[in-house]
């Protein structure tokens, strides 16, 4: 019997919904949708990211729906290019042309960018269409597909237009991991580690003990890690769906510094690689501020070594630019910034810190984390 796990997400305000995790989930996608959503469907529109549309597993998903409903396929370019208002308006016109109604089911198959696009589109068309997300990367399985945050870019401003709009169902088929390049798998693993450091240390133990199995793409190990990670994200979304209580800020652990590095690296580093460096630097900052136990930093450095995730910043990333990006981080409110801090494994708090003080500390700390020359 193939292993199937189920996590129920209970957002603070929105209706609860299930996340189905396991093997061969998509072969019976239509039946699962009907059993879990229990609402009338007149047609299905599947938005799929290239090159996922070429995979056999995607074909099975489509066949599952076509047996019962008129099914339309919309192929979306991969990456951030489709996360724009131009693409949103293009697909609004398409939905109008095929006479989509509030009973039209939107299915998004892809990574985080695709989820952002279809989540935003579903939230605004006819004031809301039912949405099913099918994440295809480890990163999107444990993070972006859960929680209802959707956004697109405009005027070269990242995520400036957005909504909170929860899916009705999330289907996570671990067969997609089989097609992931190792670097992308490793990148997603950084977000898994984040949950272990901030919320559930059991995750850290599994990553340490089963790192070889993870990169061998052992299904049972990956299902366990994904389930535990989804449970962490679901817990946060239950407490603070719309970022009103600061609790959800813990999901940004490692991201204050990480986003600064990522933006300055201009695509040369993955999101997960930057977050891993960010967590190490921010744990060091926490030690110097007197909040973080040194064991947190030591554990992160150890995991970095075991997983092959970086612990140092490449020399081509300019420190001044990193600091400038951090200075105008989205978590800034006036002269203060909300900074997630881990005291010990599984224990966190949100610190409100003066931005100028943070920049002063990081100006010194970051230099110690650049790759050594020669």
Residues labelled catalytic? 127, 149, 191, 233, 243, 248, 252, 255, 259, 271
> What values do phi and psi take at 357, rounded to 5?
-70, -45
What's the burial of 288, exposed, middle or buried (CB within 10 Å: 0-12/13-18/19+)?
exposed
Nearest alpha carbon to residue 46 among 133, 136, 153: 133
- 192-224 in b/e form (b: 16+ CB < 10 A) is bbbbbbbbbbebbebbeebbebbeebebebbbb
Quickly count: other Cβ atoms within 10 Å of residue 89's Cβ: 11
**Cα Rg of the chain (Å, integer):** 20
CA separation for the pair 51, 74 (Å, rounded):
13
Asked if 114 contacts 108 with a C-beta cutoff of 8 angstroms, the reply is: yes
Contact indicator for 113, 142 with CB cutoff of 8 Å: no
Are the beta carbons of 196 and 233 closer than 8 angstroms?
no
Q: How wide is the angle at C-alpha 264 spanned by C-alphas 259 and 270, nearest 5°?
A: 60
CA–CA separation, 58 and 107 (whole Å): 12
Q: DSSP letters along 344-367, please?
A: ETTEEEEEEEEHHHHHHHHHHHHH
Strands 149-154 and 157-164: antiparallel
User: By C-alpha distance, which of 150, 256, 248 is closest to 198?
Assistant: 248
Judged by DSSP in three states, 308 sits in coil
Return all residues near 366 (Cβ < 8 A) that are at least 6 apart: 257, 281, 313, 319, 322, 323
**Torsion of Cα atoms, 372 then 258 then 273 then 200, to 10°:** 120
């Amino acid at each position: 019997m193939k292993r199937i796990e189920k996590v129920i997400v209970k957002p603070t305000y929105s209706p609860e919904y299930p996340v189905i995790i396991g093997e061969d989930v998509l072969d019976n996608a239509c039946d699962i949708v009907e059993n879990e959503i229990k609402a009338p469907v007149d047609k299905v529109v599947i938005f799929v990211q290239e090159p996922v549309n070429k995979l056999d597993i995607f074909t099975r998903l489509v066949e599952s729906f076509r047996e019962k409903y008129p099914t339309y396929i919309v192929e979306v370019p991969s990456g951030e290019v489709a996360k724009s208002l131009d693409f949103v308006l293009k697909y609004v016109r398409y939905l109008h042309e095929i006479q989509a109604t509030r009973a039209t089911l939107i299915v998004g198959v892809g990574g985080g960018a695709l989820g952002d696009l279809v989540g935003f589109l579903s939230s605004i068309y006819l004031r809301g269409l039912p949405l099913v997300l099918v994440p295809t990367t480890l990163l999107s399985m444990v993070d972006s597909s859960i929680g209802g945050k959707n956004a697109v870019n405009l005027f070269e401003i990242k995520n400036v237009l957005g909504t909170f709009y929860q899916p009705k169902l999330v289907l996570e088929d671990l067969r997609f991991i089989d097609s992931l390049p190792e670097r992308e798998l490793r990148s997603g693993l950084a977000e898994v580690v984040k949950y272990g450091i901030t919320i559930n240390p059991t995750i850290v133990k599994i990553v340490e003990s089963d790192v070889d199995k993870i990169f061998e793409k052992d299904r049972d190990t990956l299902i366990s890690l994904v389930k535990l990670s989804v449970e962490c994200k679901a817990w946060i979304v239950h407490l603070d769906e719309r970022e009103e209580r600061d609790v959800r800020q813990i999901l940004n652990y490692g991201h204050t510094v990480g986003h600064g590095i990522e933006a300055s690296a201009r695509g040369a580093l993955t999101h997960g690689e930057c977050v891993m460096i960010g967590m190490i630097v921010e744990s060091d900052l926490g030690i110097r501020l007197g909040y973080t136990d040194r064991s947190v930093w030591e554990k992160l450095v150890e995991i970095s070594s075991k997983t092959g995730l970086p612990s140092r910043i490449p020399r081509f990333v300019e420190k001044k630019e990193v600091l400038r990006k951090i200075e105008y981080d989205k978590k800034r409110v006036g002269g203060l910034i909300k900074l997630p801090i881990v005291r010990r494994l599984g224990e966190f708090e949100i610190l409100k810190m003066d931005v100028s003080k943070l920049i002063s500390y990081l100006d010194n700390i970051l230099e110690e984390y650049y790759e050594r020359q020669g």
